[in-house]
Amino acid sequence: MLGFFESLGPGELILILAVVLLLFGAKRLPEMARSLGKSSREFKKGLKEAADDDEEEARNTSAEAKSDSASTS
């Protein structure tokens, strides 16, 4: 996806921005950008929480496995 944006020149970007401005209007663009920022932050927060939960679960599982092996020996 990033390769697509690299191939666009300044003229194409200005054209795309002008079309977006015409479609949504000047008043709606800041609202959309704010909404996009909030959703991006929430997504990153969710990813971080999921990673933290996975880490904690892995630590608990390894601790349980060590205690099980120690008690059976």
Assign 27 to helix, strand or coil.
coil
10-residue mean pLDDT series, the chain (73 residues): 71 90 88 92 94 86 69 59
**Exposure pattern of 47-66 as b/e (b: 16+ CB <10 Å)?**
eeeeeeeeeeeeeeeeeeee
What gap in Å lies between CA 38 and CA 28, rounded to an integer?
16
pLDDT at 46: 94
pLDDT at 71: 62
What gap in Å lies between CA 8 and CA 16, rounded to an integer?
10
